[in-house]
Amino acid sequence: MRPTTLGVIGLGAIGGSLARLAKQSKVSSVLGWSPDALERRAALEAGALDDAPVEPAAIAKAADLLVLAAPPAANLQLLEILAPHLSPRTLVTDVGSVKRAIVERAERLRLGPRFAGSHPLAGTHGHGFWASRDTLLVNAVVYVTPTNEGAAAAREVAGFWESVCGARTVLIDALAHDRQMAVTSHLPQVIASLLGRYLADHAPAGAPLGPGARDTTRLAASDPPLWTEILLMNRDALLPVLRGLEEPLGELERGLEEGDPIAVEAWLAKGAVWRRGVDG
């Protein structure tokens, strides 16, 4: 799908980057909205938007494809608010990292045939439109999650990401997506934040941090309100994963208690082999 009019609700790092890239890809009209007037003005001045209406409903009425690029809980509310204003031709997607809730909400609102969830794997450390860039989504993996009635919509949304953004799309069930993210994304965030909390309480005041501590706690600097939403929204998938840490941590504790170098090295080796394989 290559929309004539793209609507982007939320002009932060992802939404702003999408708007920038759409204009570079010659989408005829890109409309955007943010609750922050400064963000709307910045996006217009950067040439990422053709117009930034004061009310998001105006974008919902005009867009061929509407992208909800706010935080996950806000996207749920926006879908409810904007559903009555959508043109009959409008397809809708979102960019949140938890998919079941919004897929279920779209189905409840009878938008199933016109909705598919999206999740671009394209993080950034900044906030707001000022963190956006026109290369953020290029070659990114984008998960696309269909509704029960939305196979055609999912194909159209996937086509948009591929043709306009040069992204690589993966169609996946929303439940499978959320379970996968619990392991590969949400767990690393929790571990980094746990380590950050521990160092905040126990590291000697003013002690310099080496690259190991800096690298492993990078995610701890992520936005707490956003991650609170994500972790709570996916808690049923995340809780078993967190409990699954008890057994391997216990194995290391036993190896250390017994002074067993073979057990400790084997424990470390499993992670080392996996990580080296990630880098090819």
List the Cα angle 81/87/92 in 5-degree steps.
65
Pair of tokens at residue 223? 């936005």
Per-residue pLDDT tens for 129-152?
A: 999 999 999 999 999 999 999 999
Tell me what pLDDT residue 279 has: 80
Pair of tokens at residue 198? 């521990």
Tell me what pLDDT residue 206 has: 86
Question: In the CATH hierarchy, which fold is given to the domain comprising 174-242?
Answer: 6-phosphogluconate dehydrogenase C-terminal fold (1.10.3660)
Question: In the CATH hierarchy, which fold is given to the domain comprising 5-172?
Answer: Rossmann fold (3.40.50)
Amino acid at 107: E
Q: How far is CA 259 from CA 27, 82, 254, in A?
A: 64, 62, 8
Tell me what pLDDT residue 228 has: 97
Amino acid at 61: K
d(CA 34, CA 80): 17
What does the buried/exposed string (b/e) look like for 126-145 if buried means 16 or more CB atoms within 10 Å of the residue's CB?
eeebeebebebbeebebbbb
Pair of tokens at residue 26? 């010659």
Tell me what pLDDT residue 263 has: 97
For the chain, the maximum distance between any two Cα atoms, rounded to a whole number of angstroms, is: 68
List of residues 6+ apart from 136 with CB closer than 8 A: 13, 14, 17, 21, 122, 124
Per-position DSSP letters for 203-254, written without gaps between them: SPTTPPP-HHHHHHTGGGGS-HHHHHHHHHHTHHHHHHHHHTTHHHHHHHHH
d(CA 271, CA 73): 34
Question: Where are the domains positioned within the chain?
Answer: 5-172, 174-242, 245-280
Residue numbers in the chain where pLDDT is lower than 70:
124-126, 280
Tell me what pLDDT residue 1 has: 86
Tell me what pLDDT residue 107 has: 97
